[in-house]
C-alpha cells in the first residue's frame, strides 16, 4: 500500500520527538493514502513555517506491522466527527 507524508523539510528517519503534541490525535507521524492531501499539507506547512514543500512516499506492507503500533484508519470519505 502506498502512503504519503507532506512536510516542509527533508526527513531522513521518522522521529516522534519532532512531532507536535497539538496535532489532531497527539504526537505521531501522520500518513495518508491520498497523494493530493499530502501535497496540500506540504504546501501549507511551507507557507506557515518556511522550508521547501516535500512529498515523501512510503510503501507499507500491513503484514509487517509492529504489534505496539497505534494506527488510526479513517474511511475513504472522512467527515467532521
Backbone angles phi, psi at 12, to 5 degrees: -85, -35
Whether residue 58 contacts residue 3, with contact meaning beta carbons closer than 8 Å, is answered with: yes
Q: pLDDT tens digits, residue range 1-50? A: 899 999 998 888 888 888 878 877 788 888 999 999 999 999 999 999 99
Per-chain mean pLDDT for the chain: 85
Residue 4: predicted pLDDT: 95
User: What pTM, to 2 d.p., does this model score?
Assistant: 0.77
DSSP structure class, residue 46: H
Whether residue 23 contacts residue 30, with contact meaning beta carbons closer than 8 Å, is answered with: yes
- Domain residues of the chain, as ranges? 2-10+21-63
If we measure between CA atoms, which residue out of 81, 5, 7 comes closest to residue 51?
7
d(CA 31, CA 60): 11
Q: pLDDT tens digits, residue range 9-19? A: 888 888 888 88
Amino acid at each position: 500500500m502506498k502512503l504519503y507524508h507532506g512536510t516542509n523539510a527533508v526527513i531522513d528517519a521518522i522521529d516522534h520527538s519532532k512531532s507536535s503534541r497539538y496535532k489532531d490525535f497527539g504526537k505521531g507521524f501522520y500518513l495518508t493514502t491520498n497523494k493530493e492531501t499530502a501535497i496540500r499539507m506540504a504546501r501549507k506547512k511551507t507557507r506557515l513555517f518556511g522550508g521547501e514543500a516535500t512529498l515523501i512516499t512510503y510503501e507499507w506492507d500491513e503484514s509487517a506491522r509492529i504489534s505496539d503500533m497505534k494506527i488510526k484508519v479513517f474511511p475513504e470519505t472522512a467527515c467532521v466527527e
